[in-house]
Amino acid sequence: MNELVVAAVQMRSGVSPEANIAVMKDLVRDAASRGARYVQTPEMTGAVQRDRAGLQRILRPEGDDPVLNAASTLAGELGIYLHIGSTAIDAGGGMAANRAVVFGPDGSAMVRYDKIHMFDVDLDNGESWRESAVYRPGENARTVDLGGARLGLGICYDVRFPHLFRDLALAGADILTAPAAFTRQTGEAHWHVLQRARAIENGAFMISAAQGGVHEDGRETYGHSLIVNPWGRVIAEAEGDEPGVIVASLALDEVKAARAKIPNLKNARSFRIDNDTETARGAQVA
């Protein structure tokens, strides 16, 4: 496979999984009609719901989850790889998993990934988030073969942990992903630079579908879904935070070319940090 047409679906998910599924279906069908063989939806496709009791009411085990069941049917109907960027799944014990699932063209679930890094932060504008109070973090990174291109999975806050993406690239990933629901404040400051940095560091394509706009639960997300090439150039972007679809054709040979020009994956060396006080003081005086 030398070329792969891909799409990122930007959404503004509300609190109703049924309403979000209807929007997802329309946007995914739009992407497929434009030639996309791989389509990615954002983090929390099924519902953006910050109220814990409200989230608990809609949680289902994976086998009963309406978002994943709809995605399986849709992937098989359209004959595409459909990547649900994530949706909340009942993980037992009153906890949820922030889970991504990639479905194959036959509708089967090819790989599952639970978000590893929890967004536990306090922002300058007063926003405070504690994902670890609701979600059980994943423990395993995942890649999957898309019939000639290998995909590495991440979700949102994972993008701030470059070692995860480095390990995915070393495991053979040509395409890296971080579907997201970035807050507006952090998105305006860091979204583009983080996406481009992960692409450049690893000589890989980066595809990140995003949530955008003011949601029913009061949260505001940044939008600007992105597709970045291995040299760090943005080749497709959703302008603003409105729902929609972006499409790009990936020339997969660009991965090999970028890694040949700057072979940092090969050139990395192990090292240790010397915290010896006298050595540090001597160097400072010199």
Domains in the chain (CATH in brackets) are 3-285 (3.60.110.10)
Instruction: Copy the structure tokens of residue 26.
Output: 């329309």
Using CA atoms, how far apart are residues 1 and 38, in angstroms rounded to an integer? 13
Instruction: Give the rounded percent of residues in the chain with a pLDDT score beyond 90.
Output: 86
Contact 206, 174 (CB under 8 A): no
Specify the residue for token string 């040509």. 174
Tens-digit pLDDT profile for residues 186-202:
999 999 999 999 999 99
Long-range contacts from 237-241, C-beta under 8 angstroms, 24+ separation: 238/8, 238/10, 238/210, 238/212, 240/212, 241/10, 241/12, 241/212, 241/213
Secondary structure of residue 265 in the 3-state scheme: helix
> Mind telling me the catalytic residues?
43, 115, 156
Whole-number Å distance between alpha carbons of 142 and 114: 9
**Model confidence, pTM:** 0.93
Residue type at position 104? G
pLDDT digits (tens, 9 = 90+) for 22-43: 999 999 999 999 999 999 999 9
Q: Show the beta-strand stretches assigned E in 51-107.
A: 81-92, 95-103
